[in-house]
Amino acid sequence: MILEVDGIEFRYISVPTLKDVSFSLKRGELLSVLGNNGAGKSTLLKCINRILKPQKGTAYIEKRDIAKLSRREVAQKMGYVAQRYENARFTVFDAVLLGRKPHIKWDVTKKDMDIVNRVLEKLNLQQFALRYLDELSGGELQKVVIARALAQEPQVLLLDEPTSNLDLKNQIEVLRILKQTVEEENIAAIVIMHDLNLSLRFSNKFLLLKDKTIFACGGMEIMTSKNIASVYGIPIAVEKFHDIPVVVPL
Ligand SMILES: Nc1ncnc2c1ncn2[C@@H]1O[C@H](COP(=O)(O)OP(=O)(O)OP(=O)(O)O)[C@@H](O)[C@H]1O
């Protein structure tokens, strides 16, 4: 296991937002976290990434208790793309280079520059390299933030709605790149998604959150009409179109 989440409970105030959340992730797995607005998906990612400290439970990355790692160690192992991000006056190149920060000892090396160039190319962002972040569209900016997380070369990628601002072509492209990165680099990713069809198409593991805890976690076998309808509270059918599973709200 690359990541193990063991009995996490988190409360912002007196009422728990997350209760008894346990699951594990292997290398090569791309896990979709699914559930209604306010279900606690972002909170879960923040507990794993140590932005929030759970009141109960622990997360382990490569068997090491995340609470006992330094910030730098966490950043070396986990790349995180938040739902909302700062828009500082950096160029695209510098913003992506920041992803190398946890690995840089004294100075930026040729290897760091090569990684940044490779990631920019992968995400088709080379033409924006010298553009400032505040001169980008919402979707272009979202791709830059994803590029920064990839440049970080983490063991586990945590992405909070990474395709929310992207057009259809970019949604497919970015998720293909994520899937390919997970497979080729033999890492793992946790992705919060609202689009069930994209999730079914690109993930190989699913975590359904409901009533502050895990309703189901597993492979395609848990993505039944019954389970999805129960989590989202509306009738749903899961069908196949050219062998691709699609969710149709009824
Ligand atoms: N800083 C905070 N203080 C208090 N309550 C919070 C805070 N952040 C989130 N919450 C509450 O915790 C619950 C879970 O929020 P969270 O952002 O984790 O949900 P989510 O599943 O990611 O939602 P969405 O799909 O809308 O992004 C919500 O009811 C939210 O109002």
| Residue 37 alpha carbon to ligand 1 centre in Å | 8
CATH code at position 61: 3.40.50.300
Name the closest-CA residue to atom 9, ligand 1: 43
Phi, psi for residue 212 in degrees, rounded to 5: 70, 5
Instruction: Provide the pLDDT for residue 88.
Output: 77
Tell me whether residue 145 is in a domain: no
> Where in the sequence is the domain holding 59, given as residue range(s)?
3-85+155-249
The answer to whether position 205 is within a domain reads yes
Asked if residue 199 has its Cβ within 6 Å of ligand 1, the reply is: no
Question: How far, in Å, is the centroid of ligand 1 from the Cα of 223?
Answer: 24
pTM of the full structure: 0.94
- Using the predicted structure, report yes or no on whether residue 83 has a pLDDT greater than 90: no
Residue 123: both structure tokens together: 């995400």
Query: Which residue has tokens 């966490």?
Result: 74
Question: Is 51 inside any structural domain?
Answer: yes
In a domain, residue 100? The reply is no
> Tens of pLDDT along 214-243?
999 999 999 999 999 999 999 999 999 998
Domain assignment present for residue 25? The answer is: yes
179 SS3 class: helix
- The reply to whether 149 falls in a domain is no
Q: Is the dihedral of CA 79, 20, 201, 170 positive or negative?
A: negative
Total domains in the chain come to 1
Question: Residue 41: CB within 6 Å of ligand 1?
Answer: yes
- Supply the mean pLDDT for the chain: 94
**What pLDDT score was predicted for residue 12?**
94
The reply to whether 140 falls in a domain is no
Q: Residue 69: what pLDDT?
A: 94
Answer yes or no: is 198 within a domain: yes
- At 11-57, the pLDDT tens digits run 998 889 999 999 999 999 999 999 999 999 999 999 999 999 999 99
Report the first-to-last Cα separation within the chain, whole angstroms: 38
DSSP tally for the chain: helices H, then strands E: 8, 12
Mutation to probe ligand 1, out of 14, 17, 163 (largest number of atoms < 8 A from CB): 17
